[in-house]
Chain A
Amino acid sequence: ESLDDSQVDGVCATGEVIRYEYHVLYSSSYQVPVLYFRVCFLDGRALTLDEIWKSVHACYQARLLEGPWDTITQQEHPLLGQPFFVLHPCRTNEFMSAVLTSSRKENRQTNYIASWLSIVGPVVGLNLSLSYAKLASEQNTEADVI
């Protein structure tokens, strides 16, 4: 199922407008969420993986090269049938279980999708606003009061 998709316009170094399109899907095979994305110039011309990589902020590039996200490959969107880039889901359980374990220790609620997206999103230019984290902690405070 497609949980959410959003389009964001960004500006790259040469001053051209590029449009990022993100879809979050659920993989029933791996039982984890998967991030699909594609990036185009406004005239519809698709960016290559190289061009997308260059637009990832420099401060992330070195760290991401050793990250747990394995690979980005081009794959067919399972509902639309069109080519998208995908962050491979087979390592997701690995890095998410660390997040979930520490939350449980501190007896905190986590929004799985917000946590997951805040980890994988920046790899592909999707920076999650801090308001998502504030929302999760507000839910915690309410739970404590009850």
Chain B
Amino acid sequence: MTDDKDVLRDVWFGRIPTCFTLYQDEITEREAEPYYLLLPRISYLTLVTDKVKKHFQKVMRQEEVSEIWFEYEGTPLKWHYPIGLLFDLHASNTALPWCITVHFKNFPEKDLLHCHSKDVIEAHFMACIKEADALKHKSQVINEMQKKDHKQLWMGLQNDKFEQFWAINRKLMEYPPEDSGFRYIPFRIYQATTERPFIQKLFRPVDSGGQLHTLGDLLKDVCPSALAPEDGEKKTQVMIHGIEPMLETPLQWLSEHMSYPDNFLHISIIPRPTD
């Protein structure tokens, strides 16, 4: 039986083989070769693509280069969503490598947040962690930490340092011994087919009788369309980090072991492939 701690490592070190191609209308001085990279599922596009940017800027003139942005099959990719979520949501049932198009012009103001520096990514990441702790612990654990602990969470993510990150993050995964879990579970459920970007609601890890809520309980309550009708075929997949956890899995366990570094469970509901 795999140790629970192994799950934490598997989640942290998950990678997606990606091929970056420059948008054909970008003006170049010579032909741009595609760039291949293994992207960390738990990180953010603008945090891990410095090399991609440098590679394409080498064949472009300075004046043609403005803020970089990424697109997959016509859909601008939200850099503030973790990479693994973007892949699961948009491309999980397609052939690898994941083919992303790189743009340096016509930034889609109505769709994407700007990302002018790493500070913006850090601010976004820390805001997510703070919101997760507001849900889990009424912000008590995050507020008790010193600034250097907050910095360590960010540096751990930025430098891909599992031990450094978890030395602090483990405190955010604790709860009082008299309780059975967190106050509320930080989660967001995404469906590419809806206008609403995600579903997020208050949901407790335990029911009034003290029983642990499962992933299935959560879906039944906040997104019943994701579940198969009693006698019908399963039309959707419920995916976290590229896998479909059993619906009987306790939500508290999922929150402790399969959250992203921002401490949220990002869950994708995608159409089941019909091969």
Contacts and interface: CB of A to CB of B under 8 A. Distances in A.
Nearest to B197: A81
Interface string B197-231: 11011100000000000000000000000000000
B195 A76 contact: no
Contact of B113 (A28, A75, A79, A88): A75
**Size class of the B contact interface (CB-based, 8 Å):** 20 to 34
A31 B17 CA distance: 40
SS of A interface (majority): loop
A83 B202 contact: no
B7 interface: no
B275 interface: no
Contact of B130 (A73, A75, A79, A90): A90
A53 interface: no
Given A73-B123, A90-B130, A82 B200 contact: no
A83 B196 contact: no
Contacts of B124: 73
A71 B113 CA distance: 16
A74 B195 contact: no
B152 to A, nearest CB: 20
A95 interface: no
Interface in B73-130: 78, 80, 109-114, 123-124, 127, 130
Interface of A: 28-30, 46, 71, 73-76, 78-83, 88, 90
B130 to A, nearest CB: 7
B196 A81 contact: yes
B8 interface: no
Contacts of A88: 127
B134 interface: yes
Given A73-B127, A88-B127, A90-B130, A83 B110 contact: yes
Contacts of B127: 73, 88
B113 A83 contact: yes
Given A29-B131, A29-B135, 13 more contacts: A28-B202, A46-B109, A71-B123, A73-B124, A74-B113, A75-B113, A76-B113, A76-B197, A78-B196, A81-B197, A83-B111, A83-B114, A88-B127
A78 B197 contact: yes
B201 A79 contact: no
- Give 10 closest A-B pairs by Cβ, nearest first: A81-B197, A29-B131, A29-B134, A74-B113, A83-B113, A46-B109, A28-B202, A29-B135, A30-B134, A82-B110
29 contacts: A28-B200, A28-B202, A29-B134, A29-B186, A29-B200, A30-B134, A71-B123, A73-B123, A73-B124, A73-B127, A74-B113, A75-B113, A76-B78, A76-B80, A76-B113, A76-B197, A78-B196, A78-B197, A78-B198, A80-B195, A81-B195, A81-B197, A83-B110, A83-B111, A83-B112, A83-B113, A90-B130, A90-B134, A90-B139
